[in-house]
Amino acid sequence: MHTNQPEIKNKQREAQRLQAWELNAKGWSIDDIAEAIGVTPPTVKRWLRRAAIGGTEALRTRKGQGNKSRLNAAQRQHLLKLLIHGANQYGFVNDIWTSKRVCLVIQREFGVVYKPNYIGAFLNKLGWRLHNSGSEPARRKMRALQRWYPNIWDELDKTMVPTTAPSDENLP
């Protein structure tokens, strides 16, 4: 069974925050709470301030919202249409969408710059998956090239005639 470490850590921190709130209600000092829980006094103060404003619900772990999309809904739909039509239709030599290509299309079409490292997660939210360059057909092609490439150079070496480098006196 796979455990999600960040999720466990979030639950532990949430438990610490709720415990700090309970100890504060029992009259413990901020310094004593911090020492008992193993955090700094300013952290306890911040938690108690949050709870004073929003109740214990404010101490619960919240799911991160992430950055707001830089493309609006219409632009995202237009991007999906471009992706569906294929990379060839957009002018690329083959029909494989890569993260760099998608970033280039987004920049050309909408004037928005995305980094290739993050485009996969953005597209997953839209329900689109990029081509996996590590797929079996790509690996087979790479193995074939690796078998062919060294052999072709051996053959070329046998047919090449050594030449002398031009000397400085032959230059104009």
Per-residue pLDDT in tens (0 to 9) along the chain, 172 residues: 455 666 778 889 999 999 999 999 999 999 999 999 999 999 999 999 999 999 999 998 877 666 778 899 999 999 999 999 988 888 888 888 889 999 999 999 999 999 999 898 889 888 888 866 555 666 666 666 666 666 655 565 555 555 554 444 544 4
Judgement on whether residues 69 and 132 belong to the same structural domain of the protein: yes
Is 162 part of a structural domain of the chain? no
d(CA 130, CA 83): 10
Judgement on whether residues 76 and 105 belong to the same structural domain of the protein: yes
Is 138 part of a structural domain of the chain? yes
Is 161 part of a structural domain of the chain? no
3-state DSSP helix/strand/coil % of the chain, to nearest 5: 65, 0, 35
Residue 79, judged by CB atoms within 10 A of its CB (0-12, 13-18, 19+), counts as buried
Is 101 part of a structural domain of the chain? yes
Total domains in the fold of the chain: 2
Complete DSSP assignment for 111-147: -----HHHHHHHHHHTT-----TTSHHHHHHHHHHHH
For 11, what's the count of Cα atoms within 13 Å in the CB-facing half-sphere? Answer: 6
Judgement on whether residues 82 and 52 belong to the same structural domain of the protein: no
pLDDT score recorded for residue 166:
46
pLDDT score recorded for residue 165:
46
Judgement on whether residues 96 and 76 belong to the same structural domain of the protein: yes
Judgement on whether residues 102 and 33 belong to the same structural domain of the protein: no
Is 40 part of a structural domain of the chain? yes
Judgement on whether residues 52 and 77 belong to the same structural domain of the protein: no
Judgement on whether residues 25 and 76 belong to the same structural domain of the protein: no
Is 167 part of a structural domain of the chain? no
pLDDT score recorded for residue 90:
87
Judgement on whether residues 100 and 22 belong to the same structural domain of the protein: no
Judgement on whether residues 110 and 147 belong to the same structural domain of the protein: yes
Judgement on whether residues 30 and 80 belong to the same structural domain of the protein: no
pLDDT score recorded for residue 136:
61
pLDDT score recorded for residue 49:
95
Its domain, for residue 19, covers 9-59
pLDDT score recorded for residue 150:
60
pLDDT score recorded for residue 110:
93
Judgement on whether residues 69 and 54 belong to the same structural domain of the protein: no
pLDDT score recorded for residue 87:
87
CA proximity to 10, closest of 47, 59, 51, 61? 61
Is 168 part of a structural domain of the chain? no
